[in-house]
Amino acid sequence: MQKSGIKKLVIILSFLLVSSCASVKRSSDPVWIDKFSSFALQPVPEELSGRSMMQKLTITSTKGNHELLIQTELLSKRINMVGFSVSGLVLFQLHWQAPSHVIVETKIDIEGVDAAVLLAYFQMSNWPVKEVAFGLKGMEARVSPKNDKVRHFFRDQELIFGLTKNSDITLLEHYRDKYRIEIETLETSMISTN
């Protein structure tokens, strides 16, 4: 067999391997953030509808470090999110249409990365805090009195995690579970909402 034939065979086998690893899962709404707290996903606020964002996530935890890219489309009644490895492989595809379940199709599983929880964190950092508070169960959201770009999330007066949003960088620091997610917005654009 020639080299080009071997390359084609390797590519086809790799594609079949990745395709066979795909799993489809319906997550319940609400999304469980941890074993004590959940977040009921909220409709897309009118001021955010029609936007598309490309973001780079750097996840640092005791289990290791991961980098991935997230493409998110916000439509009036629907959210689409695709996670990619930094080399461009599709890791997951997520679809949510208010008020139904989250549908996640996982292509490649990454330990410690739950696409539905990433969507909940996305909403918790970008939606107005009143809407975030409405969706929380077992946790309370508060805006820092010192800086309105900082949100704290408490359970029984214990600070569980914080979100700090600056121009293109959002930092989620989970104090209880000992991990952090740095979210860098690489691009934002308007899309058709039809």
Q: Where are the domains of the chain?
A: 24-190
For residue 22, pLDDT beyond 80: no
Domain spanning 24-190, CATH architecture:
Clam (2.50)
pLDDT, residue 27, reads 53
pLDDT, residue 23, reads 56
Cβ pair 180, 60 in contact under 8 A? yes
Residues 6+ apart with CB under 8 A from 95: 78, 79, 80, 81, 102, 103
Q: Report the mean per-residue pLDDT for the chain.
A: 85
14 phi, psi to nearest 5 deg: -65, -45
For residue 35, pLDDT beyond 50: yes
pLDDT, residue 133, reads 94
Higher-confidence position of 107 and 13: 107
Q: pLDDT tens-digit profile of 41-80?
A: 999 999 999 999 999 999 999 888 999 999 999 998 899 9
For residue 163, pLDDT beyond 80: yes
Mean pLDDT, range 127-150, rounded to an integer = 94
For residue 17, pLDDT beyond 80: no
* Other residues' Cβ atoms within 10 Å of the Cβ of residue 163: 22
pLDDT, residue 24, reads 57
